[in-house]
Amino acid sequence: MSKDLLIKVFEKANQKQIIDEEIISFLEEIFPNKSSNVFESMKRGVTKYISTPSNRVIWTVMGEKQEHLVYPMLFCSCQDFYKSVVILRKREFCKHILAQIIVEAFGTFKEKALKDSKFKELLNNLKLAL
């Protein structure tokens, strides 16, 4: 996966702080005919969970039917990531990874603190949804 490209997405979104034609065109270049899917994922919701007291962090992006675990610029638990990125290697990332990056750059994500025991429970529930 090209982290450099994802860093550019973050920087461009951070600089603009708005979805405009330039951002849409840039997304269409790197994720052809699917930028609207990224925006839909953003609307459905992105959450940053912070575990206390261990201070571990995970992100989730709400998919059409379930929440997906996202490790920024690295991994998503959705089927498209597994199939299109890992197995077929036809893309470098999925819409959920792009949605998480843009929302993080905008600062418009939900943030939830969880005790370590509840954090572990959340991870287990996300694993079961795979």
Q: What is the pLDDT of residues 53-80, one digit of tens each?
A: 999 999 999 999 899 999 999 999 999 9
Strand, coil or helix: 112: strand
Question: Residue 43's pLDDT band (boundaries 50, 70, 90)?
Answer: very high
What is the chain's mean pLDDT, rounded? 90
Count the domains in the chain. Answer: 1
pLDDT in tens, 15-38: 989 999 999 998 898 888 888 999
Question: Residue 114's pLDDT band (boundaries 50, 70, 90)?
Answer: very high
> Is-contact 98 68, C-beta < 8 A?
no
Instruction: Write out the two tokens for 69.
Output: 């675990």
What's the mean pLDDT in 104-116?
95
Question: Residue 14's pLDDT band (boundaries 50, 70, 90)?
Answer: very high
Other beta carbons less than 10 A from residue 33's beta carbon? 7
User: How many Å apart are CA 108 and CA 51, to the nearest integer?
Assistant: 20
**Distant-in-sequence, close-in-space partners of 116: CB < 8 Å, separation ≥ 6:** 51, 52, 53, 54, 56
What's the mean pLDDT in 79-86?
92
**What is the extent of the structural domain holding 38?**
3-128
